[in-house]
Amino acid sequence: MSQKDQDDVVHGTNPREKIAVVGAGAIGLFYGGLLAKAGYDVHFLMRKDLDWVKQKGLIIEWREEKFHLYPLQVFSSTQQIGPCKWVIISLKASANDALLELLPPLLTPQTVLVCFQNGIDNEKWLYDNFGPRTVIGGILFVCINRTGPGKVTNFGFGKVELGQYNALAGKEVKEFEFMLRSAGIETEIVPSLEEARWKKLVWNIPFNGLAVAAGGIDVAEILAHPELERATRELMEEIIRAAKAMGYCISNDFIELQIEVTRKMGRYKPSSLVDYFEKKPLEIEAIWGRPLKKARAKGIHLPKLQLLYAILDSLNCRI
Amino acid sequence: MSQKDQDDVVHGTNPREKIAVVGAGAIGLFYGGLLAKAGYDVHFLMRKDLDWVKQKGLIIEWREEKFHLYPLQVFSSTQQIGPCKWVIISLKASANDALLELLPPLLTPQTVLVCFQNGIDNEKWLYDNFGPRTVIGGILFVCINRTGPGKVTNFGFGKVELGQYNALAGKEVKEFEFMLRSAGIETEIVPSLEEARWKKLVWNIPFNGLAVAAGGIDVAEILAHPELERATRELMEEIIRAAKAMGYCISNDFIELQIEVTRKMGRYKPSSLVDYFEKKPLEIEAIWGRPLKKARAKGIHLPKLQLLYAILDSLNCRI
């Protein structure tokens, strides 16, 4: 038995199992690209850059390295892709409704949905619409932007935290973790997907939000402005307070850690800022609206999140 | 003794006393224009529209009426105007430093300074720099925009509340009130100038601020967006809380009144929004910064004002 076969048996993963990446923006191209590079059978649903990638392939820049992946299996419809074992969803959460038409051609009873989206409750939405089946959430700690046609650049990090929706991490989570690891991606299986999602909000709510609301600025500009830095910290405190009301405990030291980590990102543009510059809808409900409304339902008053959400929603309506 | 002479004696006002209007934007042109129309000797310091107004005069639209005032005494420097009894300051509060050079040519020991500016502590600044002398504050309740070259339109209201800086209203306040009234302007002398200024902030902080931060929208658009309306009310609650800590009591019913009054304004653009569209600096410290810092000094935490100030200051730095 070769090492390869052993891995197959131990992890129950067949590298020939079809994977679909639905929504091949920066995130989908990066993680899907690394899986393809590792030999997995990845099919990308693309709109933007479809012809470019079909003809010239994909370039991934990461850690002083530059991979050129060619050819890639890229498609303009999920009908062309057909049933898959794994469906990685990296469409913007604001476009979830499109999944109602996009996903069915990919699904078999065994298909596992992997949600690589921002914000909370996307896994619930997938489960409610396409369950009962295994829905995995992946929380991405990565600074990644599209830097050209068919090109994505990772400016830092890349770790993926994995958890299963509404259940302890089962066999599929471990299989998917193995796949990511074999593609060179750092992973961790978290005990509570929801808690991990709230923890991610601690960063996303202020940085994605203020980048847009404060004039189209990057994270370095946010931290260079003392009142914006203060607003960032106070927004983080609010999210931690809300998370606590949901039963998730995030230490207040986590705030300092987020600020420190973000200082090292340099002039990184959060994904919402990129969306805003490209005049795409913001992930307004997933990142700001649902957390606010969940906190409200628990009687928790979050004055800064409320104001930020109101401003962003107004800006979003005018994109 | 004619009625005119009687008035002069009773109010101690000589209509021939020179008045200077420093900063002839919408506010300066409107109130100065009405005083000129009433026969007062008004001298306007102008930059924008100077030649237009010199050649064609000023049009004031108010209550279905349209006044054409011509000729007007308009000047490009305060040296040309010379010493005055009354100096009405309607320059943007963000440009106060310019007053250090603009005011001296206008001043005699008897000159009274009348501050027609937004925000708090402008009278203090005038007193600190040009006192000891009588400094009057005028709080303007008016919806007024420049609607063309040499043209201002009053979309509603016009009342002026008057108070004296750091003193009970004295003789000069009563004289100035008489002048405004004889020009057809509703007036009221308030017992506490500072309290009245804080009361005005209850409107200015949310409406001027959100108009800019939420995407360049007018007051009707703010009130049409439920989360922005909620943010408006909660900002108002914060200002009332801060005012209370300063010793000024504003009833919470005042919030409902402000919302109702504002609904009647229609699609009015607050002055900060006009500034923002014209790429002029916002009155950032006078309206948002100083109230926030004064509250902070009293240990009062105003989370929404902090966030709004941070966002506006960041936008303002990028105008």
Put simply, the chain A residues between 220 and 249 with a CB less than 8 A from any chain B CB are 221, 225, 227-228, 230-231, 234-235, 238
Residue B264: the pLDDT is 95
Beta strand residue intervals within B27-134, DSSP E: 41-45, 58-62, 65-69, 73-75, 86-89, 112-115
Point out the residue among B217, B303, B310 whose CB comes nearest to the CB of A227. B310
Residue B266: the pLDDT is 94
Residue of B nearest to A306 (CA): B231
* Closest-CA distance of chain A to residue B140, Å: 27
The reply to whether A195 touches chain B by the CB within 8 Å rule is no
Residues in chain B: 319
- List the domain boundaries for chain B: 3-191, 195-317
* Closest-CA distance of chain A to residue B2, Å: 59
| Two structure tokens written together for A291 | 């957390």
pLDDT at B158 over 90: yes
Q: What is the mean pLDDT of residues A203-217?
A: 98
Q: Of B84, B78, B39, B32, which Cα lies nearest the Cα of B53?
A: B32
Please give the CATH topology (third level) of the domain spanning B3-191: Rossmann fold (3.40.50)
Q: Tell me if residue A30 falls in helix, strand or coil.
A: helix
Q: What is the mean pLDDT of residues B303-307?
A: 98
CB–CB contact B215 A315 (8 Å): yes
DSSP-assigned letters across all residues of B185-225 = --EEE-S-HHHHHHHHHHHHHHHHHHHHHTTS--HHHHHHS
pLDDT at A48 over 60: yes
pLDDT at A69 over 90: yes
Point out the residue among A216, A225, A303 whose CB comes nearest to the CB of B310. A225
Residue A14: the pLDDT is 61
φ and ψ of A37, to 5 deg:
-60, -35
* Closest-CA distance of chain B to residue A204, Å: 16
- Rounded Cα gap, residues B144 and B62, in angstroms: 9
In chain B, which residues have their Cβ closer than 8 Å to the Cβ of A230? 306, 310
pLDDT at A240 over 60: yes
Residue A207: the pLDDT is 98
Other Cβ atoms within 10 Å of A307 Cβ, number: 32
Residue B6: the pLDDT is 42
Residue B92: the pLDDT is 95
In chain B, which residues have their Cβ closer than 8 Å to the Cβ of A238? 303
* Closest-CA distance of chain B to residue A112, Å: 37
Percent of chain B residues past pLDDT 90, beyond the cut = 93
Point out the residue among A214, A234, A315 whose CB comes nearest to the CB of B303. A234
Residue B305: the pLDDT is 98
pLDDT at B5 over 70: no
ipTM of the complex: 0.92
Which of the following is catalytic: A200, A244, A293, A298? A200
Residue of B nearest to A317 (CA): B215
Residue A2: the pLDDT is 45
Q: Which candidate in A307, A313, A316, A317 is best for mutational testing of the B interface (most B CBs within 10 A)?
A: A307
The reply to whether B279 touches chain A by the CB within 8 Å rule is no
Q: What is the mean pLDDT of residues A247-276?
A: 96
Structure confidence at residue A3 as a pLDDT band (50, 70, 90): very low
| pLDDT tens readout for residues B171-186 | 999 999 999 999 999 9
Exposed/middle/buried for B267, CB within 10 Å: 0-12, 13-18, 19+? exposed
CB pairs under 8 A between A and B: 92
A159 has catalytic annotation: no
CATH architecture for the domain at A195-317: Orthogonal Bundle (1.10)
Structure confidence at residue B14 as a pLDDT band (50, 70, 90): low
Residue B2: the pLDDT is 45
pLDDT at A183 over 50: yes
Residue of B nearest to A304 (CA): B304
CB–CB contact B214 A309 (8 Å): no
CB of A99 within 8 A of CB of A71?
Answer: no
| pLDDT tens readout for residues B210-257 | 999 999 999 999 999 999 999 999 999 999 999 999 999 999 999 999
Residue A292: the pLDDT is 98
Classify domain A3-190 at the CATH class level. alpha beta
* Closest-CA distance of chain B to residue A291, Å: 14
Q: What is the mean pLDDT of residues A278-292?
A: 97
pLDDT at B13 over 90: no
The reply to whether B184 touches chain A by the CB within 8 Å rule is no
| pLDDT tens readout for residues B126-141 | 999 999 999 999 999 9
CB–CB contact A217 B314 (8 Å): yes
Residue B9: the pLDDT is 38
* Closest-CA distance of chain A to residue B21, Å: 35
Side-chain half-sphere CA neighbours of A205 within 13 A: 35
Q: Tell me if residue B72 falls in helix, strand or coil.
A: coil
Residue B168: the pLDDT is 95
Which of the following is catalytic: B200, B269, B279, B304? B200
Average pLDDT along chain A: 94
Give yes or no for a cis peptide into B206 (omega within 30° of 0). Answer: no
pLDDT at A1 over 90: no
pLDDT at B8 over 70: no
CB–CB contact B225 A311 (8 Å): no
Residue A251: the pLDDT is 95
Structure confidence at residue A261 as a pLDDT band (50, 70, 90): very high
Q: Which of A13-27, A192-206, A249-263, B48-62 has the lowest mean pLDDT?
A: A13-27
Residue B15: the pLDDT is 54
Q: What is the mean pLDDT of residues A173-186?
A: 97
Give yes or no for a cis peptide into A71 (omega within 30° of 0). Answer: yes
